[in-house]
Every structure is written in structure tokens, then in C-alpha cells.
Amino acid sequence: MKLVVLGAGPGGYGAAARAAQLGAEVTIIEKTEVGGTCLNWGCIPTKSIIASAAAYDRAKKLSEFGIILNGEITPDICRIIDRKNRIVSTQIKGIRSFFKSRGINLIEGNGRILSPEKLTVTMQDGSGQEISADRIIIATGSRPAALEGLEYDGQRILSSDHAINIESIPKSIAIIGAGVIGSEFACILRQLGSEVTIIEMMPRALMTEDDEISAIFTRELKKMKIRLITGSKVERVQKNSSSVALELSNGEALEVEKVLVSIGRALNTKNIGLDNADITTGHRGIIPVNEKLETDAANIYAVGDITGKMMLAHLATKQGNIAAENACGRHSSIDYSCVPAGIFTTPEIGSVGIREHEAVEKGINIKVGRFQYRTLGKAHADGDITGLIKIISNASTDRVLGMHIIGAHASDLVHEGALAINSGLKTKDIASTIHAHPTLAEGIMEAAEDLDSI
């Protein structure tokens, strides 16, 4: 069976790897670079820069740990970006090597569907190639969404793609959007020394997160001296030689060195030949799929951001695996009720399952257990006492429905909640499990015990 995958990001290479493992003849087409947004402009680059910013921030606090460092400590943005580039390059080489070892044929060019059985690829030198396929998996991903009046120029008006390659640390920056990406960059740039203002049209930062977690994060932004303006949007923009002037809907005027637009992602579903396969897109260009990742067209599947689900690399990879299995004749489906997510702000946020406000809106009778980081000896030893672990359970059955954490290593800790939800565990199962001391994970046990006492 010949399978062609359009796009070599997490969803695409996940599909290609699984299909090759199942014995398919796999070709994967990529127009830019393997790894997609996650590896080249998203997850890995930002986390590399976050690690540098956190190291610098920690270094400034060494005296609190009894370490005296003589001399000035300054961030070198060129070296930070160079380190990021080396990490990305290593990962790219790893993916390319993996393709070769699995016999996956990589074609570098712009792919387009001609029919449910045929695609064309335009190479970088302008030449073309046609490829036949028994099955097609579309995994073309997304790109930074643009905002009218704040068109990207890479100098004054930046996208997240530009921000991971900045040549100097701006003295001041306005970030449009307090979602995941905007919040992460706000923490990065503040730690590196920028004066940061976030402008968000919604009533709070991180609207997708649990209300209580969002409130704690907002408090921490204030501690970091990051200004958050909510319920407002940019009305007018004036670019000058060395700054950008903004007028907001609340009547306020700002002047900053740079602006980072972070209002979400636009889907890459145009000009890939969907009409030729009679695939109709929905709102924002979403390709509708069923639980098997099948599109309206027979033998064509779609995975990743373009399916309109949570924009998470690990979810795209899982979707890719499921689509590949179905393309190879297996019968697999996907469940979206237990997908963990991490936000790499300061402090980190980890979440899985239902939020408290969502449960209330759905009329689910719940219990909520909480435990503060400041009570943990390990948190004090590490010097990171800010944080909350929150567990939501069904009041009738005691089954874990959600876990939400803000604090150090939250993105790692939350997987205990993912396992509990996926396995149908009850809070008493967590509470009765011995957790090592001294660890941050003890807090999860304590939060579960808090629920047991309700």
C-alpha cells in the first residue's frame, strides 16, 4: 500500500513512522523543513530560549542559595539564539536519519493534491513531479495569524516566528494576545530585561485555562512587573523610525520599541488541492474529520492543527498514528477527553481534563481538592514556592475528571492526572499511593487527600 503524507511536522512524521512500521510504502512531502512548526518555530525553539532566560533569572538569585558570583551577569541574545539553532539542527538531523532508517521517502517541495489518488510536487528549483497514492494523510499544520493594521515586517511588528530569532533584546515591547504563545514570550522577554505590556481583548489572560490557575498567573505577571491590559484591543498603529505608537480601545496610548502579535494560528489548508478531492473546509479552513481521522473524501485523512482540535504537537502525533493505522487497514479511533498540555510560562502550567468552570457550565456535580506548593519542603529547598495543585473529581463516583497545576515542573507533574483520567482512577487511588518525600509530586497526593476529606 502506497501512503503519501503531506507535511513533515509532528502529525506528519508520526503518521509516516507508524505506517512504515505497519509495512506501508511511505512518501512524505515537506515544503520547508522536517519537524514542522513545533521543531523549527514553536515548541523546541521557545523552550530552548526559555531555558536560557530561566538560567539568567536564576543566576541573578544565586546569593539566595549562598553562592556569591563576582562580576556582571548579562544575557547574550546572539549566543542564546545560536544555542537554540544548534538544538533545532540536532533534532532535524535526527528526524532525517529516522526517515532513512525506516525507508521513508522524503520529497522536499510544495505538495498539492490532484485527485484522491495523485499528488504533484513543485520542487525548489521549479521542476515538478507527480506521485500516485493509495492513501493520503494531510498534515499541513498552521502559521501565525495576522492582524489587520499590524502586518508583520520582521522589524517593528513581529510574529512568533520572528521572535525566536531576535537580534537584540527590545527595551520595551507590546504583546498583542495573552494566550499561550503571548504569555510565554512575555515571561521570556521580561526575564531577559524587556519592559513588557500585554494587551488582551478578553477579560483575563489564558482564557482556555481554569479560572483559578489564570488568576494565580495574573498575580505572578504583576510580581514580574509585566503589565496586563485586558478587555481592550488596538485601534490605531503608527510605525516610526525607532518605535511603534499604539492607541487602544480603552483610550490609552502606548509607545514601544517593538510589537509582537500573538493572536493565534491560521490553518494551512489553502492551495493544497482540497477542491480536487471534493473536501470542503469549515470555519477558519478546518478540515472536518471523524474519530478515525477520515475526511469527506475516501482514503484521505487529516491530522494536526488543520482538524480544529487542540493545537498540540503531541496530539498531532497521536492523530498521525491513528490515521496511519486506519490507512493500513486497522480500526483505530481517538479520544480527546484526556489530552495533557503544558504552558511554559513563569511559573509553568500543566492541565488535563475538565476545568472547574466547564464542569459547572455542564451541570456536573464535582468536588475540588487543592494543595499549595508553599507547604512542600521540596519547593522551599528549590526556592520555588509559588504554585497550586488542583484536582477535580466527580462528586458521585470519585473518578478524577481534571488536574490543573501552576508551579515549578507543572508540565511534568500533570501526567499523573492524565494517567488517572485515562485509567478511570478515583481520587482515593491517588491518595492511597505512597509518593516519595521530599518531592513536588507529594502535592498531588495531598490534593487528592484534600478531596477525600470533603
- As a whole number of angstroms, the distance between CA 448 and CA 428 comes to 7
What cell was used for 38? 513545533
Residue entry with cell 520582521? 154
Q: What is the phi-psi region of residue 398: left when phi exceeds 0, alpha when psi lies from -120 to 50, beta otherwise?
A: left
Q: E-strand spans in 31-162?
A: 105-115, 118-123, 128-132, 135-138, 142-144, 157-158
CB atoms within 10 A of CB 360: 13
Q: How far apart are the C-alpha atoms of 261 and 174, rounded to whole Å? A: 8
Region for 361 from its dihedrals, namely left if φ exceeds 0, alpha if ψ lies in -120 to 50, beta otherwise: alpha
Q: Identify the H or E element spanning 394.
A: strand 387-394
Give yes or no for a contact between 306 and 268, defined as CB atoms under 8 angstroms apart.
yes
Residue 404 among the catalytic residues: no
Between the alpha carbon of residue 175 and those of residues 93, 257, 278, 349, the distances in Å are 33, 11, 39, 20
Is 401:373 a contact under the CB 8 Å cutoff?
no
Q: Which among 246, 74, 86, 104 is positioned nearest to 169, based on CA atoms?
A: 74
Set 283, 314, 409, 437: catalytic member: 437
Angle CA 212–261–206, to nearest 5:
10
First to last CA, the chain: 56
Phi and psi for 15 in degrees, rounded to 5? -65, -45
**How many other CB atoms are there within 10 angstroms of residue 146's CB atom?**
14
H-helix or E-strand spanning residue 350 = strand 349-353
Let me know if 238 is exposed, middle or buried by CB neighbors in 10 A (0-12, 13-18, 19+). exposed
Catalytic residues: 437
